[in-house]
Amino acid sequence: MKEFWIYTGLRALLFVAALGVVSVVWWLITGGVDLFFAVIVAFLISGFSSLVLLDKYREAFALRVQQRADRAAAKFQERAASEDDDER
């Protein structure tokens, strides 16, 4: 679960940083900030940036999820096998 919170926190931090940069640049260019469009642009920038910058954390999270799924499947198979043995 730790990997989930690390990845999620870094995504949120990346979005906030992108929103700050987009807002400042937008304000310097136009003298005002349209928050709706700034959020959309920041969302796109942070999304594409996270593909590159957060790859290591995303892979760690995916590995953890896969390990948990494998353990759950193994336990399911054990229970199914023990039920088959009990029926005999």
pLDDT tens profile 34-75? 999 999 999 999 999 999 999 999 999 999 999 999 999 989
- Evaluate whether 15 touches 42 at the Cβ level (below 8 Å): yes
Q: What's the CA gap between 7 and 36, in Å, rounded?
A: 25
Q: What's the CA gap between 61 and 2, in Å, rounded?
A: 8
Q: What's the CA gap between 52 and 73, in Å, rounded?
A: 32
Classify 31 as helix, strand or coil: coil
pTM for the predicted model, two decimal places:
0.72
The mean pLDDT of 73-86, rounded to a whole number, is 81
Which pLDDT does position 26 carry in this prediction?
A: 95
3 vs 36: which has the higher pLDDT: 36
Which pLDDT does position 29 carry in this prediction?
A: 94
Which pLDDT does position 83 carry in this prediction?
A: 74
